[in-house]
Chains A and B, each alone.
Chain A
């Protein structure tokens, strides 16, 4: 930690918290405490619009965040494991589709192993494997969202896209709670961009099969969500305004006045596409709950 960073952290730290602060290299044992930056970032929040972009309606600890990350990775891994166990006719004849799912499953398994190690190292509780229903019917107690998810490859890709895009948003939101430890923060960022690469591949696969979808969340994507169930995945994702913290305030970046070109849809499509937004832990948990019973 450089001295400027240390000073900034100290400036944003309450005396009680300061007394608890341990050397950074020992911080794996301290993941349950609230990070100094959590407090710093929480101070200026207040407006609902700001809160939505900041991604933090609830204050989380590093340990809570890693446990949530593990639950996401476990869910994704289970989906891919089941898909790969489906009859061979499930996958398209172009072998690259199945090959990509094999790669993604391997990554999710590695992520789960890594997160389990981090949680265990900090004396945290590893979440028990959940029971999943990938149709979204919660074991036939509500209408299915993807009734043929393990027989119709298009439905499988839709759910995979929702889960990978959710993973990107979840990691993005939790970085602020993981920032006290350089190793954990960088690992989370590396997981974050891995999820983004997965999401882009899934989106390209859907596009190859005729879906209207970009490699990044776009206002032009055809909707694959259900209101009140899965629409949280793209809630606030297509923001046309970016708020940045300058001069002790959140200010909207005046894209209209900046030299970003003159395309007809720059402000309504390109700006929302150019930024991926965070998603609160509460919202992520709500999405996971749709496929868990």
Chain B
């Protein structure tokens, strides 16, 4: 099977299973659902990695949207402005990547976004975070931003096209600034916590990143079909 058609099947699977699960919610005597929903990130060329980055940005944008909608009551002066800025940056990143995921074919533009066929976007699960305190919010932000930076650092070499490398690089350093800010909000002088003894920031493979982020995804996400070199 070609990578692109496999990718489309995977997207369709996520859509169908979401509908099944939604139907069960209103059923007074639901049947056990044995279908496991798996989102397999893939696609030809750079579309797999761009989808991976798109998923990361969706997650971060949804996180800050939730925080800004119901901010903790103990935020310090200026912190809600920071969190609002972070939300806006991530929303912009998300839509920028979705725009990059449009392929111009002989029959017109086609979205290669993994969720283009979904009726509703994935709803992420932040229940393991403590979002009622400023410390909990900044700890969660630090975790997500650090993973995001390591993801971009590990993904660059997996891209085929130089223009996409630059497109992700423009985002990656802003994520690193976000991450350092979150560290500083929690603990002064902790901006360099992810820098190793060789002076290098962290880098992770897509498989490593997806494993770390799986608790926040409503479906099982597989990065096994993404390139590894």
Q: Interface on A for B, CB 8 Å cutoff?
A: 1-2, 4-5, 8-9, 37-38, 40-41, 44, 54-55, 96, 99-100, 103-104, 106-111, 113-114, 168, 172, 175-176, 179, 182, 185-187, 189-201, 203-204, 214-216, 242, 244-248, 253-255, 258-261, 263, 266, 270-271, 273-278
Contacts and interface: CB of A to CB of B under 8 A. Distances in A.
A73 to B, nearest CB: 9
Interface of B: 44-45, 82, 84-85, 87-89, 91-93, 95-96, 98-100, 102, 104, 109, 149, 152-154, 156-167, 169-181, 184, 188-189, 191-192, 194-195, 197-203, 227-229
B165 A175 contact: yes
B200 A187 contact: yes
A1 B160 CA distance: 9
A114 B198 CA distance: 8
A contacts with B: majority SS? helix
Pick the most buried of B89, B170, B227: most chain A CB atoms within 10 A of its CB: B170
Contacts of B99: 244, 246, 253-254, 258
A2 B227 contact: yes
B166 A278 contact: yes
Given A189-B172, A200-B180, A4 B166 contact: no
Contact of B92 (A38, A248, A270): A270
A8 B171 CA distance: 24
Contacts of B154: 186
Contacts of A195: 173
B189 A96 contact: yes
Given A5-B160, A194-B199, A172 B166 contact: yes
B33 to A, nearest CB: 31
Contact of A172 (B92, B157, B169, B195): B169
B166 A107 contact: no
A263 B175 CA distance: 21
A273 B174 contact: yes
Nearest to A188: B156
Contacts of A198: 180, 191-192
